[in-house]
């Protein structure tokens, strides 16, 4: 979208504010560079991603977004021939790529709740081999590990041995009487990688060795004793070997990284977008925003919207977001449903320009995939471009007057707009003769009107108020003004033109009554009566609007109460069903226990006299028939007959879940698998509940 419009609606203020909520430089770069788009699918997806991220953060589930670094500068350095980056920078590849793997697994595990975020996570690639190679060679501090190679480990052991030998040697030298008397102080120092003694400058030739440095005061010479020179040379050779091996290891990892450069860059783009989404969600939560409803019909309907930069300013002053919201009067405005052209009139300092900027800025936010500071249900159409002519456009460099600068801008807008554009024009027709300005303004409006360009215009020209009355898809609007405080209320009333209140305001500001009365007398009676009628209608509309808002608040309260009642009812139903299942389980378990307790004494009567044995069998038959006729037994039988091979069932007697092999209805048993073994289980020993 054109940068001029984004500049005049102060879009950069929003991107800077948004960037403060990102967790890394990756997200901040996207926040600062993002621009609105006119592609419906992209906008809708980005808004849904913001909504999902906001819900995720609100659920207090851990979101592993930390540890991300922008690896692109490192990749660029690597592409330069012969350039090797620091090992600490290479470690950042491990940190970022491993964080990406963690983030991917985290979001995929929640794919059912957050499908849009899971789509992004699904595209993230994992680099286990590369991460393992980096972690094997470089530790968390960014140092190459001794274990990175056998040669490096061996060399470092030799370096440690040599350093110990040198230290012991120099300590022995310092103990010698013929040496100690020449020393400036006890101890030794390292200069240019060599072990040196701190010798008084006047005795520098008393000790045989190499002078490596002189102190700034000139009182101390740093001398490497001759007997240490060869040992120092050997140590330098070992340090050179170490450096060569470290370079070889780093080059090896660098080549592995460059072989996956394209995939890594792809991951960086996705991680940057996820962090951008994270920033949008935090921004939305902090500024009490809601998700806009995106449509392709060019319909704009902002309900109870607030200019986000005004909210930021109020927040800085009072330190509380809720208080800041109460200070900023909400704005409700719509266009694109029954009319395409909205003409806003009202007094100077009436808030028209602020309202115009708020509409443009909030629309741009929505087309970027952000939530907006407006009430739920607010709609934003997909506009291919936003055009704006707002504020003082005077150009000193081009020697253009304010009027000329406005006209030059409008000429460009007229040439580039169509029915998919949103145009915002401030003080149309001002800066020139009122009659000519009005005629030119109506011709400009005609051009937008014929092409059904969604246009919102503010003006002081009284003749433009009548434009909406003669055009079906045009509408008037006015900005309310508090004549007691002489300040704007920032409330817009659609359907009525506004009045300038210039004479009334002048009187309130101290203009003499004589001049005020004379000014009123100079206005034609027709104009005066029309203004009075407009004022009366406007006051009535304002009262109706206030009553409507009260009704809306009551309706929203009733809807909240209804939702709460429905939730409580659903909870009660779920609780009832859970208790019913628990009761069935308890009864079923009690019946099985009763059957087992009765079966044992009855079996002892198998060897009893004939008449007792027959009586026992009769009792057993009656008990069996009674239990089988119970509703729970019928439920168990229906459940068992519906079992299929491979399903798992609960067998309380075995105290485990078993896989079904087959169901034998004739023998009233189920063959189940206990590991690799088959075993038969009576129907009565199976429960249909999830408990064991």
Question: Which residue, among 206, 200, 204, 191, has the nearest Cα to 219 in the 3D structure?
Answer: 200
Place 638 in a pLDDT band, splitting at 50, 70 and 90. confident
Domains 148-243 and 643-692 belong to one CATH topology:
no
Place 26 in a pLDDT band, splitting at 50, 70 and 90. very high
What value does the mean pLDDT take over residues 563-592?
A: 68
Q: What pLDDT, on a 0 to 100 scale, did the predictor assign at position 646?
A: 83
What value does the mean pLDDT take over residues 89-98?
A: 93
Global pTM?
0.69
Model confidence at 10: pLDDT above 80: yes
Q: In angstroms, rounded to a whole number, what is the distance separating the alpha carbons of residues 218 and 392? A: 67
Each residue's pLDDT tens digit, 375-392:
999 999 999 999 999 875
Model confidence at 394: pLDDT above 60: no
Full 3-state SS string of 381-403:
ECCCEEEEECCCCCECCCCECHH
Q: What pLDDT, on a 0 to 100 scale, did the predictor assign at position 623?
A: 67
Half-sphere exposure of 491 (CA within 13 A, CB side): 15
Between the alpha carbon of residue 636 and those of residues 66, 311, 483, 599, the distances in Å are: 52, 63, 79, 20
Each residue's pLDDT tens digit, 448-484:
999 999 999 988 777 787 888 888 899 988 877 665 6
Place 657 in a pLDDT band, splitting at 50, 70 and 90. confident
What value does the mean pLDDT take over residues 579-599?
A: 64
Model confidence at 581: pLDDT above 70: no
CATH code of the region 148-243:
1.10.1420.10
Q: 389 and 382 in contact (C-beta within 8 Å)?
A: no
Give the range among 152-166, 175-189, 206-220, 249-263 with minimum mean pLDDT: 175-189
Q: What does the domain layout of the chain look like in residue ranges?
A: 19-127+260-286, 148-243, 294-500, 643-692
What value does the mean pLDDT take over residues 152-170?
A: 90
Model confidence at 641: pLDDT above 80: no
Place 134 in a pLDDT band, splitting at 50, 70 and 90. very high
More confident residue, 473 or 173: 473
Place 588 in a pLDDT band, splitting at 50, 70 and 90. low
Each residue's pLDDT tens digit, 37-77:
999 999 999 999 999 999 999 987 788 988 899 999 999 88
What value does the mean pLDDT take over residues 567-591?
A: 66
Q: What pLDDT, on a 0 to 100 scale, did the predictor assign at position 356?
A: 92
Give the range among 35-39, 356-360, 432-436 with minimum mean pLDDT: 432-436
Model confidence at 109: pLDDT above 60: yes
Model confidence at 541: pLDDT above 70: no
Residue listed under structure tokens 């660098």:
254
What value does the mean pLDDT take over residues 428-453?
A: 87
Q: What pLDDT, on a 0 to 100 scale, did the predictor assign at position 193?
A: 81
DSSP secondary structure letters along 512-565: -HHHHHHHHHHS-HHHHHHHHHHHHHHHHHHHHHHHHHHHHHHHHHHHHHHHHH
Question: 643-692: what fold?
Answer: SH3 type barrels. (2.30.30)
Q: What pLDDT, on a 0 to 100 scale, did the predictor assign at position 650?
A: 81
Model confidence at 613: pLDDT above 90: no
Place 333 in a pLDDT band, splitting at 50, 70 and 90. very high
Half-sphere exposure of 489 (CA within 13 A, CB side): 14
Q: What pLDDT, on a 0 to 100 scale, did the predictor assign at position 526?
A: 43
In the chain, what percentage of residues exceed pLDDT 70? Answer: 82
What value does the mean pLDDT take over residues 301-320?
A: 89
What value does the mean pLDDT take over residues 347-375?
A: 89
Model confidence at 538: pLDDT above 60: no
State the average pLDDT for the chain.
Answer: 83
Give the range among 174-183, 412-421, 662-671 with minimum mean pLDDT: 174-183
Q: What pLDDT, on a 0 to 100 scale, did the predictor assign at position 395?
A: 44
Place 130 in a pLDDT band, splitting at 50, 70 and 90. very high
Question: Which residue, among 493, 115, 63, 557, has the nearest Cα to 282 in the 3D structure?
Answer: 63
Q: What is the DSSP letter of 346?
A: -
Place 608 in a pLDDT band, splitting at 50, 70 and 90. low
What value does the mean pLDDT take over residues 483-489?
A: 59
Each residue's pLDDT tens digit, 246-293:
999 999 999 999 999 999 999 999 999 999 999 999 999 999 999 999
Q: 386 and 415 in contact (C-beta within 8 Å)?
A: no
Q: 422 and 451 in contact (C-beta within 8 Å)?
A: no
More confident residue, 676 or 340: 340
CATH code of the region 294-500:
3.40.50.300
Q: 102 and 60 in contact (C-beta within 8 Å)?
A: no
Q: In angstroms, rounded to a whole number, what is the distance separating the alpha carbons of residues 84 and 258? A: 12
């Amino acid at each position: 979208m054109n940068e001029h419009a984004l500049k005049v609606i102060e879009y950069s203020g929003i991107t800077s504010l948004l960037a403060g909520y990102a967790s890394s430089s990756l997200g901040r770069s996207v926040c600062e560079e993002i621009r609105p788009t006119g592609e419906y699918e992209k906008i809708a997806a980005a808004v849904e991603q913001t909504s999902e991220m906001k819900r995720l953060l609100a659920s207090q589930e851990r979101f592993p977004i930390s540890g991300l670094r922008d690896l692109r500068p490192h990749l660029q350095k690597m592409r330069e021939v012969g350039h090797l980056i620091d090992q600490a920078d290479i470690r950042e590849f491990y940190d970022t790529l491993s964080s990406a793997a963690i983030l991917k697994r985290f979001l995929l595990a929640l794919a059912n709740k957050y499908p849009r975020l899971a789509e992004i996570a699904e595209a993230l690639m994992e680099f286990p081999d590369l991460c393992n190679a980096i972690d094997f060679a470089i530790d968390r501090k960014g140092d190459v590990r001794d274990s990175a190679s056998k040669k490096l480990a061996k060399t470092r052991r030799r370096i440690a041995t040599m350093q110990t030998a040198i230290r012991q040697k120099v300590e022995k030298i310092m103990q010698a009487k013929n040496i100690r008397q020449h020393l400036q102080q006890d101890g030794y120092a390292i200069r240019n990688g060599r072990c040196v003694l701190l010798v008084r400058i006047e005795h520098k030739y008393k000790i045989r060795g190499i002078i490596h440095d002189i102190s700034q005061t000139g009182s101390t010479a740093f001398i490497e004793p001759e007997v240490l020179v060869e040992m120092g040379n050997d140590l330098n050779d070992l340090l050179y070997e170490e450096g060569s091996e470290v370079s070889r290891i780093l080059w090896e990892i660098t080549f592995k990284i460059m072989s996956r450069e394209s995939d890594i860059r792809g991951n960086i783009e996705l991680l940057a977008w996820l962090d951008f989404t994270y920033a949008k969600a935090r921004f939305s939560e902090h500024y009490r925003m809601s998700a806009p409803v995106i449509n392709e019909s060019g319909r704009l309907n902002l309900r109870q919207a607030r200019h986000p930069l005004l909210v930021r300013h109020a927040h800085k002053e009072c330190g509380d977001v809720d208080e800041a919201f109460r200070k900023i009067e909400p704005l409700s405005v719509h266009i694109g449903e029954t009319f395409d052209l909205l003409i806003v009139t009202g007094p100077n300092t009436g808030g028209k320009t602020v309202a115009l900027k708020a509409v443009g800025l909030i629309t741009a936010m929505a087309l970027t995939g952000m939530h907006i500071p407006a009430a739920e249900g607010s709609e934003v159409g997909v506009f291919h471009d936003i055009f704006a002519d707002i504020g003082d456009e005077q150009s000193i460099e081009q020697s253009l007057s304010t009027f000329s600068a406005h006209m030059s801008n409008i000429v460009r807008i007229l040439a580039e707009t169509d029915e998919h554009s949103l145009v915002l024009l401030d003080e149309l027709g001002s800066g020139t003769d009122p009659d000519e300005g009005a005629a030119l303004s109506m011709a400009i409006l005609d051009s937008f009107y014929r092409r059904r360009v969604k246009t919102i215009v503010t003006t002081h020209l009284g003749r433009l108020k009548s434009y909406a009355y003669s055009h079906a898809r045009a509408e008037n609007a006015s900005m309310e003004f508090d004549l007691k405080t002489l300040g704007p209320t920032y409330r817009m009333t659609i359907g009525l033109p506004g009045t300038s209140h210039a004479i009334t305001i002048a009187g309130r500001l101290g203009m003499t009554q004589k001049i005020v009365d004379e000014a009123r007398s100079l206005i034609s009676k027709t104009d005066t009566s029309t203004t009075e009628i407009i004022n009366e209608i406007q006051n009535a509309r304002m009262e109706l609007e206030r009553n409507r808002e009260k009704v809306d608040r009551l309706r929203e309260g009733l809807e909240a109460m209804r939702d709460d009642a429905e939730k409580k009812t659903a909870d009660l139903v779920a609780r009832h069903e859970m208790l019913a299942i628990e009761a069935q389980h308890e009864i079923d378990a009690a019946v099985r226990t009763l059957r087992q307790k009765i079966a044992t004494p009855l079996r002892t009567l198998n060897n009893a006299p004939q008449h007792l044995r027959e009586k026992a069998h009769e009792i057993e038959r009656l008990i069996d028939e009674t239990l089988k006729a119970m509703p729970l037994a019928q439920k168990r039988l229906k459940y068992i007959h519906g079992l299929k091979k491979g399903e798992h069932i609960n067998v309380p007697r075995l105290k485990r879940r078993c896989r079904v092999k087959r169901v034998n209805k004739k023998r009233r048993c189920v063959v189940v698998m206990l590991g690799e073994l088959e075993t038969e289980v009576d129907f009565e020993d199976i429960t249909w509940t999830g408990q064991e």
